[in-house]
Amino acid sequence: MRIKAEGNVPASPETALSRSIRRVASGDSGRAGGPVLGSAHAKAILFGEHAVVYGAPAVAIPLHALTAVAEVSPRREGTRIHSALFHGDADDAPARIQPLLEAIYSAQRHTGISDMGVELRLDSTVPYERGLGSSAVVGVAVARAVAALAGVQMDADEIFEVAMDCERIAHGRSSGLDPRTVISEVPIRFHGGEVAHIQVGAPLVFVLADSGHAGSTARAVGAVRASLKADPERISGLIDRLGEIAEGSLDQLAAGDREGLGAQMFEAHRHLAELGVSDVALERLVDAARAAGATGAKLTGGGRGGCVIALARDDEHGARLEHALRRAGAARTWRTTVSQA
């Protein structure tokens, strides 16, 4: 199974990861000199937002065309950052950069080079605070780069642990769904920390639309938690139903049933809105997708800003959906095909 993305997105820096792998394999890494590279792709949640925090299953797909590349070099002392959000010494970094710093420090602890100063350059096409896993992407890319710098191999669980350290700073409580999807090359079912690959019975074309407004997973999760405490019976019912939808979607995915899958998406969005994590911009985009013939549409990620994901009938229809969503106010769109496998 392979996912490709189209639309108005930058080219995926796959070659950067390939160069990183070659450098490690050839010994051009670690204390010998660097710089070295690590890369990771974004993700989108199809089903299970918020419910996954309470132990329900979730379904998510990797987005290979949205990536981050971390370049790490040894430095005489201290840590220095070059990124779209901040340039300078770690000691002067604002709170917004703390997840990135924690990824560096965690990766150094895991690889035994905590005493080494590093200089990190981060080049990312993954939009921040849009529910596409930007903090997990940073964590995974940095983990891979630091491992290359140390000249060691980190397995998927070790990379996951680094990304989770990054996630906890960015979001507080984290289910682990984002890092697991970012690490995976294929769509996954995530339940209780366990990951299973998903069977897909036909190519499925999804369109993602950026509402233009930043979301905050930490605030959204906190709001749902407060609602659960205030109205446990109603909110528990919504969370349970979101988990049931995620589990039921596996049959539609396996059959390539676009109509059934789309109906589940619309229902899931309705319940997420009842949880209070939608907003005016997201509702406008979901309505626009429905009006343009999408078989399904919903918010993806924490909500209260971020993105909508819509299911098209085919690639040509996906292009029309992109146009309709941009006309409805989407700041940018991406089109992604999940291949049959």
Q: Is the pLDDT of residue 28 over 70?
A: no
Mean of pLDDT values over 96-109: 94
H-assigned helices in the chain:
14-26, 98-111, 134-150, 156-171, 177-183, 217-230, 232-255, 258-275, 280-291, 315-327
pLDDT above 70: percentage of residues in the chain: 90
* Residue-wise pLDDT tens digits, 273-312: 999 999 999 999 999 999 999 999 999 988 999 999 999 9
DSSP tag of 276: T
Q: Is the pLDDT of residue 22 over 70?
A: no
Burial of 19 (0-12, 13-18, 19+ CB in 10 A): middle
- Buried/exposed code over 67-92 (b: 16+ C-beta within 10 A; e: otherwise): bbbbbbbbeeeebbbebeebeeebee
Burial of 261 (0-12, 13-18, 19+ CB in 10 A): buried
pLDDT at 34: 64
pLDDT at 221: 85
- Evaluate whether 235 touches 228 at the Cβ level (below 8 Å): yes
Q: Is the pLDDT of residue 21 over 80?
A: no
pTM of the model: 0.81
Mean of pLDDT values over 190-208: 93
Q: Is the pLDDT of residue 193 over 50?
A: yes
pLDDT at 209: 96
How far is Cα 132 from Cα 62, in angstroms, rounded to an integer?
9
Report the chain's mean pLDDT, rounded to a whole number. 88
How far is Cα 298 from Cα 46, in angstroms, rounded to an integer?
8
Mean of pLDDT values over 69-82: 94
DSSP tag of 127: P
Q: Is the pLDDT of residue 326 over 70?
A: yes
Beta-bridge partner residues of 47: 59
* Residue-wise pLDDT tens digits, 230-286: 999 999 999 999 999 999 999 999 999 999 999 999 999 999 999 999 999 999 999
Q: Is the pLDDT of residue 189 over 50?
A: yes
Read off the pLDDT band of 33 (50, 70, 90): low
Read off the pLDDT band of 171 (50, 70, 90): confident
How far is Cα 179 from Cα 196, in angstroms, rounded to an integer?
14
Mean of pLDDT values over 118-139: 92
What structural domains does the chain harbor?
A: 3-195 (3.30.230.10), 199-338 (3.30.70.890)
Mean of pLDDT values over 61-89: 92
Length reported for the chain: 341
- In this structure, the number of other CB atoms found within 10 A of the CB of residue 115 comes to 7
